[in-house]
Amino acid sequence: MSSTRSTMNPIHSSTNRLKLGVFGFNGGAAFTNHPDRFVPTWDNNVRIAQLADRLGMEAAVSASRWKPFASDGHYSGDLFETFAWAAAVAAVTERISVMSTVHLSVVHPVIAAKSAATIDLISSGRFGLNLVCGWYRAEMEMFGDPMYGHEDRYALAHEWVEVFDRLWHDPAGFDFTGRFYDLKGAIVQPRSPYRRPILLNAGGSERGQDFAARDCDVAFIIPQDPRPEALKRQVDQYRDLARERYGKEIQVWMSSYVVQRDTMEQARAYVQDYVVTRGDREGVDAFLANNVGNAHTFPEGVLDQVRFAIAAGYGGYPILGPAEEITATLASLCDAGVDGLLLTWLDYEGGLATFGESVLPMLVREGLREPARVLG
């Protein structure tokens, strides 16, 4: 097989002005003790993936966790392994992009390329990878790997992508000698006939942004200022970096947590209940203790906001209110230049169904999306 066939991945091919996906339903995204907290059974995963597929969404993206936060047995570790999950989701869906989150320092690029080619064949070219450079020391130590410094993590990531690219495109075995990998006769069979899987990264530091601009197709941003004009500057800065430094175009996406209710007051009260009243402070504190010191991404004075967002939906941007208000928020993000959003809900199944029934038709009327093609 030669890797010449055009992609079937809707993240590349969709003409929707605002692309949409569902994030993290292989485990759940909120830190809370609320009874509505998502339980990631396989049956639940199948229903959510197939619903997102029917609704015409572009992406189903896993989160990845090898070790829980807070303490052993904590629910934050209850995530399906992402390559096995993606293969199974690919087999029960028809058009949605299925994306595995992979920790580069613990998953060898040869293993990743073999797994990716397999899932790409199952999905007819719909596979992608969300690349994580590894910041949780307990996970690195669990594998016996060193906890590299910030610059070295991105140096490893660049080398990892270089190896992955060669494995994807080179039909012959090759040797590779780098700083982190020393390979002899590296090859992947069977090969996928589709273009390289989409690569995503959420690097927020200067070094992380350079990696995403150079090596990835989609960059995720965490808004530093929610005002539309400030967000547009942040999006434009990322695009300009990729264009001017590497002569390429990238998509810029965000993650958001959605709380849809009949009124804004009801939505805010629900978030307050599950984040503050019944929030899992132990889990959030453990997440922040292991993450913030290494992330190099948060401006001063925003730690409380970050804490709230982590509890509400893994750090996502808030999208709250009735359908009309949610549609207006999505339209403003699109106008600021955001190409796509990965969405989370406390109750994924009910939240996605309500969103599909009410918000998606409004987005079609606003010209932000086309009607979903009926599967059959």
Query: Looking at the predicted structure, is the pLDDT value of residue 307 above 90?
Result: no
Stronger pLDDT, 84 or 292, i.e. the higher one: 84
The pLDDT assigned to 367 comes to 97
Query: Looking at the predicted structure, is the pLDDT value of residue 299 above 70?
Result: no
Query: Looking at the predicted structure, is the pLDDT value of residue 66 above 50?
Result: yes
Is residue 3 in some structural domain?
Answer: no
Q: Which residues are CB-contacts of 81 (< 8 A; sequence separation ≥ 6)? A: none
The pLDDT assigned to 297 comes to 53
Give, in degrees to the nearest 5, the angle at Cα 161 between 159 and 167: 105
Is residue 182 in some structural domain?
Answer: yes
| Two tokens, residue 226 | 């929610």
Q: Could you list the residue range(s) of the whole structural domain that residue 226 is in?
A: 10-365
The pLDDT assigned to 305 comes to 81
Give, in degrees to the nearest 5, the angle at Cα 372 between 367 and 376: 165
**Confidence at 353, pLDDT banded by 50, 70, 90:** very high
Task: Collect contacts of 287-292 with beta carbons under 8 A, ≥24 apart.
Answer: 287/31, 287/69, 287/76, 290/69, 290/135, 290/136, 290/137, 290/138, 291/135, 291/136
Is residue 356 in some structural domain?
Answer: yes
**Confidence at 136, pLDDT banded by 50, 70, 90:** confident
Look-up of token digits 């997102």: 52
Contact 362, 324 (CB under 8 A): yes
Query: Looking at the predicted structure, is the pLDDT value of residue 178 above 60?
Result: yes
The pLDDT assigned to 137 comes to 85
What average pLDDT does the segment 83-109 reach?
97
HSE-CB of 237 using CA atoms within 13 angstroms: 15
Is residue 4 in some structural domain?
Answer: no
Rounded-to-10 torsion of CA 368, 369, 370, 371 = -120
Contact 194, 8 (CB under 8 A): yes
Contact 10, 99 (CB under 8 A): no
The pLDDT assigned to 14 comes to 84
| Two tokens, residue 229 | 């004009």
Q: Which range (58-72, 234-248, 298-312) has the least confidence?
A: 298-312
Is residue 375 in some structural domain?
Answer: no
What average pLDDT does the segment 225-234 reach?
89
Total number of domains in the chain: 1
**Cβ neighbourhood burial of 167 (10 Å; 0-12, 13-18, 19+):** buried
How far separated are the first and last CA of the chain, in Å rounded?
29
d(CA 219, CA 268): 29
The pLDDT assigned to 29 comes to 94
Least Cα distance to 137 among 296, 280, 298, 294 occurs for: 294
The pLDDT assigned to 204 comes to 84
Is residue 24 in some structural domain?
Answer: yes
What average pLDDT does the segment 50-67 reach?
96
**Confidence at 4, pLDDT banded by 50, 70, 90:** very low
Q: Which residues are CB-contacts of 322 (< 8 A; sequence separation ≥ 6)? A: 260, 261, 262, 263, 264, 267
Stronger pLDDT, 269 or 150, i.e. the higher one: 269
What average pLDDT does the segment 162-191 reach?
97
Is residue 5 in some structural domain?
Answer: no
Is residue 343 in some structural domain?
Answer: yes
pLDDT in tens, 183-224: 999 999 999 999 999 999 998 889 999 999 999 999 999 888
Share of the chain above pLDDT 90, in %: 81
| Two tokens, residue 215 | 């090596």
d(CA 220, CA 208): 11
Report the run of H or E that residue 56 belongs to, with start and end: none
CATH of the domain at 95: 3.20.20.30
Contact 118, 168 (CB under 8 A): no
